[in-house]
Amino acid sequence: MSRIMTLPRIGTAEAWRDAARAHMVAGTPPDQIAWGDTTTERGLFDEQAALPPAGKITVPRAFIDMADRVVWHSDPARFARLYAFLWRLRDAPHLMSDRGDADLARLRAMEKSVRRCQHKMKAFVRFREIGDPAAPRRSFAAWFEPTHHTVEPTAQFFVRRFADMDWRIITPDISAVFDDGTLRFLEDQPNPQLPDDASEALWITYFQNIFNPARLKVQAMQSEMPKKYWKNLPEAAAIPDLIAGAPARARTMAASAPTLAPRRAASAQSQFKRFVSTWDGSDDAFVAALRGCTRCPLHRDATQAVPGAGPRDAALMIVGEQPGDQEDLAGQPFVGPAGRLFDEMAMSVGLDRSRAYITNAVKHFKFTPRGKRRLHQRPNSDEISHCRWWLDAEVTCVAPKLILAMGAVAAEALTGNGKDLLTRRGKVVETTGGTPVLITVHPSYLLRIPDADKKAEGLAWFKQDLEAALRFAEGAERESKRCIEGAERRA
Looking at residue 489, its pLDDT comes to 62
Does residue 269 surpass a pLDDT of 90?
no
Decide: pTM greater than 0.85: no
Query: What is the rounded distance in angstroms from the CA atom of residue 64 to the CA atom of residue 60?
Result: 7
Query: What is the rounded distance in angstroms from the CA atom of residue 80 to the CA atom of residue 374?
Result: 66
What average pLDDT score do residues 67-88 get?
Answer: 94
Q: Which burial class, exposed, middle or buried, applies to 131 when counting CB atoms under 10 A from its CB (0-12, 13-18, 19+)?
A: middle
Between these two residues, 445 and 478, which has the higher pLDDT value?
445
> pLDDT confidence of 44, banded at 50, 70, 90?
low
Looking at residue 271, its pLDDT comes to 46
Report DSSP letters for 209-237, one per residue.
HH--GGG--HHHHHHHS-GGGGGG-GGGG
User: Phi, psi (5° rounding) for residue 467?
Assistant: -60, -40
What average pLDDT score do residues 122-132 get?
Answer: 88
**Dihedral sign from CA coordinates of 53, 59, 65, 69:** negative
Fold of domain 281-486: Uracil-DNA Glycosylase, subunit E (3.40.470)
Q: CB neighbours (10 Å) of residue 370?
A: 8
Does residue 204 surpass a pLDDT of 50?
yes
pLDDT per residue as tens digits for the range 160-181? 999 999 999 999 999 999 998 9
Residues in Cβ contact with 207 at an 8 Å cutoff, skipping those fewer than 6 apart? 235, 238
**DSSP classification of residue 361:** S
Q: How many Cα atoms sit within 13 Å of 162 on the Cβ side?
A: 23
Does residue 216 surpass a pLDDT of 80?
no
Does residue 43 surpass a pLDDT of 70?
no
Looking at residue 79, its pLDDT comes to 94
Domains of the chain, by residue range, sit at: 3-121, 125-187, 199-253, 281-486
> pLDDT confidence of 142, banded at 50, 70, 90?
very high
Across the strands, what pairs with 167? 140, 178
Sheet containing strand 436-440, edge to edge, reads 357-360, 316-320, 402-406, 436-440, 428-430
What interhelical angle do 408-415 and 381-398 show, nearest 10? 70
Instruction: Specify the DSSP element, H or E, that contains 187.
Output: strand 182-187
What's the whole-number average pLDDT of the chain?
84
Give the distance, in angstroms, between the CA of residue 328 and the centroid of all CA atoms in the same chain.
Answer: 39
Query: What is the rounded distance in angstroms from the CA atom of residue 275 to the CA atom of residue 327?
Result: 25
- CA-CA-CA-CA torsion for 305, 311, 315, 316, nearest 10 degrees? -40
> pLDDT confidence of 131, banded at 50, 70, 90?
confident
Between these two residues, 329 and 430, which has the higher pLDDT value?
329
Looking at residue 276, its pLDDT comes to 40
pLDDT per residue as tens digits for the range 295-324? 888 888 898 999 999 988 888 999 999 999
Looking at residue 147, its pLDDT comes to 92
Query: How does strand 367-370 pair with strand 373-376?
Result: antiparallel
Looking at residue 439, its pLDDT comes to 93
Query: What is the rounded distance in angstroms from the CA atom of residue 116 to the CA atom of residue 46?
Result: 35
Angle 337-342-345 (CA atoms, 0-180°, nearest 5)? 130
